[in-house]
Structures are given as C-alpha cells and as structure tokens.
Amino acid sequence: MNKILNEKITEAFSAVLPITVIVLLVSVILVPMPAGTILMFMGGSALLIIGMGFFTLGADMAMMPMGEGIGIQLTRIPILALILGISFVMGLVITIAEPDLQVLALQVPSIQPSMVLILTVGLGVGFFLMIAILRILFKIRLSVLLLIFYVITFIVAFFAPDNFKPVAFDSGGVTTGPITVPFILALGVGVASIRSDKHSQDDSFGLVALCSIGPILAVLLLGIFYNPSGADVASNTVPAVVTSRDVVTIFAFQFPHYFEDVLKALAAIIIFFLVFQLIARRFKRHQIVRIVVGFLYTLIGLVVFLTGVNVGFIPVGHLLGSELAASPIKWILVPLSMVIGYFIVDAEPAVHVLNKQVEEISSGAITQKVMKRGLAVGMALALAITMVRILLGIPIMWILIPGYAFALILTFFVPKIFTGIAFDSGGVCSGPMTSTFLLPLAMGTCEGAGGNLMIDAFGIVAMVAMTPLIVIQGMGLIYGRKLKTSAKKTEEEIQKIRTDKAEEIILFEEESWYA
C-alpha cells in the first residue's frame, strides 16, 4: 500500500510542479509579492501534492468500487420508481457533500442562507441523475437528451436576471468535483454493465454531463423566482502574514474547519453506503474493509488538499489578477492564463479519475496521455476566452450560446463514446483548483479592470466546462477518421490477398491444363 501511495504522491508532484514554478516566476518578474504570501503559496502547494496522493488512492479503493457496486445492484430492483427514488436521493446527498459547491455558495452571500443555493443545486443534480439512469436503461441517445435540455436551459436563461446567469452556469461545473465525479462515473459503469449490447460501454459515460445541466437549470429558475436584485460577491483579501509562524498559524486555524466540512460530506455518503449494504448485502467482508480504508484515505486527502488550495491559492490568484489587470501590461493576462490553464488541469483530482476510467473502458484505445493533452488544451482556451471577456466586458451568453451550439452539433458526427467523455470532462475539469485559484484570479482581474464582479468575474467555471466539449469531440472526429481509414486499408489488403490467391489458382489451373 505504501508503494502505491508513494506512486500517487509522485504523480501529484509532477502535476503540481509546473503551476507552482509558473506562479513563482510571475511573482519575481511581473507581480512582486510579500514573502509571507509566497510562503503561504508554497505551503499550499506542498499540502496539495500530499492531498492529491491520498485522495486518488482513496478514490480507487472506496468511491469507484462502491459506485460501481451500487450501480449494478440498482438495476436488479424490479420497481422502476424505487430505482429513480434511490437515484434522486444519491444525487442530492453527494451534491450537498461536494466542497466545491460550498465554496461557490460562500462567494455569493446575497443568497442567504447559503443552504438555499446548495439545496437548489442538489435538487437539480438529483433530478437529472434519475434522467441519466433512465437513459442507460432505455438506451436513449445522449446527444438527443443534451440537445433537448440545453435548448430548454438557454430558453430559461433568457428570462433570468443578467447578474445571475454566470453564477447559474458556474454551478453546473462546481457540483462535479472530487467527491461527486468518482462516484457518478463508477455508477454509470455499474448500471451499463448489465447490458450486453455493443453500445453499453459508450453509454457508461454521460452521467456527469447530464448531472451538470440540472444545477444550471435549477439555479436559473431560482434566479427568476428568488429575484436576487442585490446580488453581490464575497471579497477576497490577502491575509496579513509576516513571519513563518503566521503562515503556520493560518493553516492550523483553517485545518479543523475543512476537516469538519469533509467529514460531514463523507459521513452522508458512508451512511447511504451502510444502509445500502444492510439491505443489499452486495459487498464481502474484505471488500468492506478495503472501502473503509479507502474512505479514510479520501478523508485525509481532501482535508489536506482543500486546506492547501483554499489557504495558499485563493490570495495568490486574486492578487495576480488584480495587480496585472490594473497595470499597463494587462493583456499579458491572456497568454499567461493560457499557460496556467494548460498545466493546472493536471492538478484537478477528478481529472485523474476520469482519464483512468476512459483508458480502462476503451481498452487502451483512448490513453490517459491523450485525454490529458486534450483537457489541457481545452482549459487553456477557456482561460484565454475568459480573460478577453473580462477585459472587454463581453456578455457571457454571447460566448456560451454559440459554443454550446457548436458542441451539440458535433455530437451527431463523432463516435458515441466521445460525446459522453467530452461532456463528462467539462464537469470534471471545473473542480477545486478552478474554484479556489482560477475564480479568484478572474475576480482579481475584474476588480483591477473595473468590471462588474457578478456579471464579468463569474462565468470562468462555465468556460472551463464548455471548451473541453469541443476539444475532446474534435479528438473524436480525428479518431473516427483514423478508424475509417484503418478499416478501409484493412479491407483493401484483404481484397488484394483474395485477388492474388484467385490469380494463383487461375495460373495453377492453366499450368495443369497445359501439362
């Protein structure tokens, strides 16, 4: 076990190192920072590496097998209404447990209590998880459902307040974080595994995609009926740190807070798992022990990870954005954010879970390396578009409507498996690194540029969730063409072999006749 943990931490170090080096170089060359702030960032990076290592190991041991087992057992229930009811409760529970959602809720203090926003998002995920399960069971094409529900979403968005639309679309991304993604991805594999048709593996993806629509639609409806005309955002201030003791004190003070949050989140899932196990008797004793140990690793990993990124990354992201946006070289934010985006996606815990599952389901045809590059390009494009939008004050719907329209059109031309992977990856990319570093970066940029925080700063999560849809499906088009070319080449080779054999037979018969 120690060997596997060391491997996970080494992988996390490789993922976090590039973004750490980039921020340190920027702090030296472009935005000089206090030594205390840099020390906080370095401490946050160290905790992030350790946390990612423990979390990815815990997800492999607990969240993935538990989700897959529940998915398989769920399909054996003879009553459809009961399947849907359990799916709804699962969606609601794991969403309320998602730390990313709590971060977003705290950024919008005008909606009080914050549980109003959290419950609204949870209801949206629960409802659409039911739809996602029905899609797999009844073999409904994902692209058709995505087209229908996104059209409905954009129609509802037309009636929602302008200052609430970015928050609504951001909520669709933050709900699919490190707790939700491993469970939902594995649940899809479990439900699809009971089917023996050729499209069952393709349909195992898409649950995250549909569950990302629910929160957007639910929060847009909340904006219409709740009418938050005074919507405002929380301010991100850089803590006053002078000595190394100050840094340690801040981390130590925040650690119990995140421990309590994560413990509550995992407790809800553990209770659900225990009730399920008592009723279904799905898992053997050694499997339960492994899952319990996995939960412990997940708890340690998420607490350490969230403490690191929230304490060490939020102040640095906000400071970078505000200082550069207020300077004469503010447009350097565009290429700089692209570089940050390209490397930061590898530091998202849920991305590793998705990439691993894609490689396993596709039997190695779609490798983790290919997925990693595709998601990195998508993230880089998302941050470039976001910075241009903030600096120029472009309305978010001018980008989201054509972007999603193009992505939805592509769904009818790419292999089915790429549609599910692409729309799942959109939610997976927008995890805790987005909400705790990139969102503060966008807020700081907006403040420095003198923009409207509610309209301009929010929406970065939506951009991060949108661009992978296009990039991954673009990869699907290339993959599909290669398959067709390979199949055509194989057919030509077979035809050539047949022709050569026929000529040999004719030649042999002629020689026999003359003999």
How confident is the model over 213-245, as pLDDT tens digits?
999 999 899 888 876 544 455 555 556 676 778
Of 79, 180, 213, nearest to 137 by C-alpha is 79
The rounded distance, in Å, linking the Cα atoms of 432 and 350 is 9
pLDDT at 57: 87
- With respect to residue 194, please indicate whether it lies within any of the assigned structural domains: yes
Spatial contact of 57 and 297, defined as CB atoms under 8 Å apart: yes
Residue 333 banded pLDDT, cuts 50, 70, 90 = very high
3-7, 348-352, 409-413: segment of lowest average pLDDT: 348-352
Q: 448 pLDDT exceeds 60?
A: yes
Q: Which domain holds residue 393?
A: 2-235+255-514
- With respect to residue 249, please indicate whether it lies within any of the assigned structural domains: no
pLDDT at 99: 67
Q: Tell me the pLDDT tens digit for each residue of 272-322.
A: 888 888 888 888 888 899 999 999 998 998 889 888 888 888 888 888 999
The total number of structural domains that make up the chain:
1
pLDDT at 228: 54
Maximum average pLDDT range among 117-126, 345-354, 476-485: 117-126
pLDDT at 166: 86
- With respect to residue 245, please indicate whether it lies within any of the assigned structural domains: no
Question: Cis ω on the peptide bond leading into residue 32 (within 30° of 0)?
Answer: no
Q: Tell me the pLDDT tens digit for each residue of 469-493.
A: 898 888 888 877 776 666 566 665 6
- With respect to residue 451, please indicate whether it lies within any of the assigned structural domains: yes
- With respect to residue 300, please indicate whether it lies within any of the assigned structural domains: yes
Q: Tell me the pLDDT tens digit for each residue of 164-212.
A: 788 888 888 777 677 777 778 778 878 887 766 666 666 778 888 888 8
The rounded distance, in Å, linking the Cα atoms of 215 and 122 is 7
For residue 191 the two structure tokens come to 């439900």
Average pLDDT in the chain: 82
Of 318, 298, 308, 314, nearest to 252 by C-alpha is 308
Write b or e for each residue in 151-189: b if 16 or more Cβ atoms lie within 10 A of its Cβ, otherwise e: eebbebbeebbebbbbbbbbbbbbbbbbbbbbbbbbbbb
pLDDT at 109: 60
Q: Tell me the pLDDT tens digit for each residue of 413-436.
A: 888 888 888 888 877 787 777 777
pLDDT at 200: 66
Of 170, 117, 140, nearest to 455 by C-alpha is 170
Hunting for tokens 């960032």 — which residue is that?
41
pLDDT at 486: 62
DSSP for residue 61: I
- With respect to residue 89, please indicate whether it lies within any of the assigned structural domains: yes
Q: Tell me the pLDDT tens digit for each residue of 374-384.
A: 899 999 999 99
Task: Report pTM.
Answer: 0.79
Answer with the residue of higher pLDDT: 310 or 131.
Answer: 131
- With respect to residue 279, please indicate whether it lies within any of the assigned structural domains: yes
Residue 389 banded pLDDT, cuts 50, 70, 90 = very high
- With respect to residue 248, please indicate whether it lies within any of the assigned structural domains: no
